[in-house]
Amino acid sequence: MKIRNIRGLLAAVASAALLWPLSGHAAGGNAPAALDNATCLNCHAAGKPEIKVEDAEGEDAEGEEVALPAIDPAKVAKGVHAKIDCVACHTDIVDAKEKHEKAPNAVKPDCAACHEKLWDEAKKNNQAAGKERLGIVVENIAAYKESFHARPDADNPDRPKAYCNQCHATHDFAVPVAGTPEREKWRMTIPETCGAACHEDQLDDFTSSVHGKLIEKGDTKGAVCIDCHTTHEIRNSSSEAFKLKNVLACGDCHTEELHSYRDTYHGQVNRLGFVYTAKCADCHGSHGIKAGDDPKSRVHPDNRLKTCQKCHDDKKPGMVKATAGFVTFGPHANTHDFEKYPKMWIAGKFMTALLIGVFAFFWLHSGLWYYREWQERKERKTVPHVRTGELGVNEGKHFVRFAWGWRVAHLCFALVTMTLVLTGTTVMFADSSWAPKIAALLGGPKVMGIIHRVAASLFVGIFMIHFVYVMSRLLRNRKFRWFGPDSLIPNWKDLADCWGMFKWFFGKGPKPNFDRWTYFEKFDYWAVFWGVNIIGWSGLMLAFPHVTASLLPGWVFNVGTLVHGEEAFLAAVFLFTVHFFNNHFRPDKLPPPDVVMFTGTQSLEEFSREHPAHYQRLVESGELEKYLVDAPSRQMHVGSVILGLTLITVGLVLLVLVVTGFFS
């Protein structure tokens, strides 16, 4: 009843019924009085007898009377409308009689139309520069027209859900200047403005919340309605636009929590523009937010599992019921607070050291290598041509370096890895400008998740097939030396070769004579083993959270997400910088690509130059000819070049995306 009465009152105000004077108060009896402000205030000023009018609007309002608001001249004098005559807005009032006769063609008072007209006139007369606040009002009007409040009221479709004057006191309207104590004092009255008229239930919840208690104490840190819902562009709270913006609204005050939330999968999906993962209000509530140590709080340890199970529930498509470990998951865990999150702090320091160490060493290695080869090119230093004819070998022959199985596995690895990088870093760097576009192009995070998991399964499957095949062959070969020159296991020669390369970089010694596998090729090979275990196991735990949380504490999700993402970042950047340089962009390799991994063969000159120790062993043992084949056909070579350039281009594009995502 209270809300209906107030709405009826405001409807009466909007229909220009404010200025109906009482009988006998109009000067001159039945003669019309001057319609100036003083005449209006004779009846409508504060302290005058209450004026009631019949509420003619609303289905249940017939015959019911509502009181018109009294006008306080002192407040009006301080308001922005102080110099405006009453009849300037109430143009349909033409007399000072008790029952006003209305002008037949006059429009009802309309705040929006009036301000828009004034702004149009200001722009037309080149006076807009001095009336910026009027321009802001017009912007607010445009926002209001698109808002939830401007929609037709369910009970009375002929009127909107809220008029301007339901929030603004039109007669004594005066919002203080931003940044002043008066503005903060006015701001803290907003919950009562919103709640008393329309949102009583929400006001009750808000009053008992942490925000409401701060406002009650006069603490301006407490959030009020407009901080979360905005002022004029208020959206339906169930809309995706509102839910996305509401997270940012919370983050305006809770900056640290926003950053840590965005590092979780929940926040990453939200950053991509999707709202199906948990948001602030899903965990903390909305109007009735309680402190974390309050037993009634949704995030209190006693209530946390139940809160998680609101989303993680078997009854929801694609979801599984949350298990005990979810309780200790840290939705706001970070890597810089050792006291609260020691595991994250340790993991963060380890991953930072790993990234810096790997990149510092190999980027320095690549830079020095590039410089040295470039200098030798300028000095026209070349490796003597191998005269294979003297060995009884046809100079047109190629050396078989990789069997077809290695080449197929490499190509599959390349395609799968690039797919993993694209789908994974799109989520990881969701803040970047390109990530939401890629996510939308691929069908959203859910589809990307499926693609990512399928690609990961293929990656692990190829790895396991390769591992089983290689081990079965080696275990059957009684003559194979595990630390010999044909083995990919690192040995002392690799350490000596690495040291020799740095001496060569600085002109302090000759370039090492590499055998079948160089130390940097072995690093590439064993990095896959490291990646499969670190990225694979952490990804598996994140893919099946209910299983993980039933066996392990929830903080493993935080550490797993960190390690999974940063190790993948390390792998991607290493592949598209160091690996590409070693195999395609060294001066001796230019122009790219090197197609040995696609054709499986390379010329004897290139083989002897890059692996002289291996070449010499084969010559001395007389086994060289066993590995010689005809050079690849032109079609095979051209196809390999096209394939190589395509993969390099895709890799470099991914590198740009990853780097821009990192710095975003």
Query: Is 163 part of a structural domain of the chain?
Result: yes
Percent of the chain clearing pLDDT 90 (strictly above) = 66
Cα(470)–Cα(219) distance, rounded to whole angstroms? 69
Residues 272 and 436 sit within 8 Å (Cβ to Cβ): yes
- Report the half-sphere exposure of 181 (CA within 13 A, side-chain side): 1
Cα distances from 540 to residues 260, 264, 422, 445, 478, in angstroms, run 22, 16, 18, 17, 37
Instruction: Place 299 in a pLDDT band, splitting at 50, 70 and 90.
Output: very high
Instruction: Place 66 in a pLDDT band, splitting at 50, 70 and 90.
Output: confident
**Does residue 514 register a pLDDT over 90?**
yes
Instruction: Place 81 in a pLDDT band, splitting at 50, 70 and 90.
Output: confident
**517-573 per-position pLDDT tens digit:** 999 999 999 999 999 999 999 999 999 999 999 999 999 999 999 999 999 999 999
Instruction: Place 513 in a pLDDT band, splitting at 50, 70 and 90.
Output: very high
Residues 92 and 83 sit within 8 Å (Cβ to Cβ): no
Spell out the residues 6+ positions from residue 195 whose beta carbon is closer than 8 angstroms to its own. 202, 203, 204, 206
**Which residues does residue 398 pair with via DSSP β-bridges, in sequence order?**
603, 629
Q: Are residues 374 and 303 in the same domain?
A: no
- The CATH number of residue 460's host domain is 1.20.950.20
- Region 239-265 average pLDDT: 93
**278-295 per-position pLDDT tens digit:** 999 999 999 999 999 999
Among the ranges given (27-36, 65-74, 539-548), the one the predictor scored with the smallest mean pLDDT: 27-36
Query: Is 214 part of a structural domain of the chain?
Result: no
Query: Is 244 part of a structural domain of the chain?
Result: no
**Does residue 124 register a pLDDT over 50?**
yes
Q: Are residues 415 and 482 in the same domain?
A: yes
Q: Are residues 442 and 590 in the same domain?
A: yes
Q: Are residues 579 and 622 in the same domain?
A: yes
Among the ranges given (108-117, 223-232, 431-440), the one the predictor scored with the smallest mean pLDDT: 108-117
What per-residue confidence (pLDDT) applies to 576?
97
Q: Phi and psi (nearest 5°) for 26?
A: -80, 130
What per-residue confidence (pLDDT) applies to 539?
96
pTM beyond 0.85: no
Query: Is 192 part of a structural domain of the chain?
Result: no
**Does residue 105 register a pLDDT over 90?**
no
Rg for the chain (alpha carbons), in Å?
A: 38
**Which residues does residue 152 pair with via DSSP β-bridges, in sequence order?**
160
Q: Are residues 492 and 578 in the same domain?
A: yes
- State which of 129-143, 155-169, 228-242, 320-334 shows the largest mean pLDDT: 320-334
Q: Are residues 305 and 428 in the same domain?
A: no
- Region 372-384 average pLDDT: 75
Percent of the chain clearing pLDDT 70 (strictly above) = 91
Among the candidates 125, 149, 174, a domain finishes at 174
**Does residue 356 register a pLDDT over 50?**
yes
Residues 391 and 623 sit within 8 Å (Cβ to Cβ): no
What per-residue confidence (pLDDT) applies to 386?
46
Cα(193)–Cα(215) distance, rounded to whole angstroms? 14
**Average pLDDT of the chain to the nearest whole number:** 88
More confident residue, 204 or 69: 204
Q: Are residues 518 and 657 in the same domain?
A: yes
Cα(512)–Cα(612) distance, rounded to whole angstroms? 9
Among the candidates 174, 193, 211, a domain finishes at 174
**Does residue 587 register a pLDDT over 80?**
yes
Residues 21 and 118 sit within 8 Å (Cβ to Cβ): no
**Which residues does residue 55 pair with via DSSP β-bridges, in sequence order?**
64
What per-residue confidence (pLDDT) applies to 63?
61
What per-residue confidence (pLDDT) applies to 393?
53
Query: Is 58 part of a structural domain of the chain?
Result: yes
Among the candidates 121, 141, 174, a domain finishes at 174
- Region 143-158 average pLDDT: 89
Enclosing domain of residue 483: 342-663
What per-residue confidence (pLDDT) applies to 167?
87
More confident residue, 71 or 572: 572
Q: Are residues 116 and 75 in the same domain?
A: yes
DSSP assignment of 307-350, as one string? HHTTTS-TTSTT-----GGGGG--TT--SS-TTT-HHHHHHHHH
**Does residue 397 register a pLDDT over 90?**
no
What per-residue confidence (pLDDT) applies to 34?
65
- Region 477-486 average pLDDT: 90
What per-residue confidence (pLDDT) applies to 19?
36
Q: Are residues 313 and 356 in the same domain?
A: no
Q: Are residues 653 and 521 in the same domain?
A: yes
Query: Is 239 part of a structural domain of the chain?
Result: no
**Does residue 61 register a pLDDT over 60?**
no
More confident residue, 392 or 124: 124
Q: For residue 615, what are its two tokens?
A: 């070449």
Instruction: Please count the structural domains in the chain.
Output: 3
Q: What is the DSSP letter of 130?
A: G
What per-residue confidence (pLDDT) applies to 176?
83
Q: Are residues 304 and 350 in the same domain?
A: no
Query: Is 337 part of a structural domain of the chain?
Result: no
Q: Are residues 421 and 465 in the same domain?
A: yes
Instruction: Place 56 in a pLDDT band, splitting at 50, 70 and 90.
Output: low
**Which residues does residue 71 pair with via DSSP β-bridges, in sequence order?**
45
**Does residue 22 register a pLDDT over 60?**
no
More confident residue, 356 or 186: 356
Query: Is 201 part of a structural domain of the chain?
Result: no
- Region 56-72 average pLDDT: 68
- Region 157-161 average pLDDT: 87
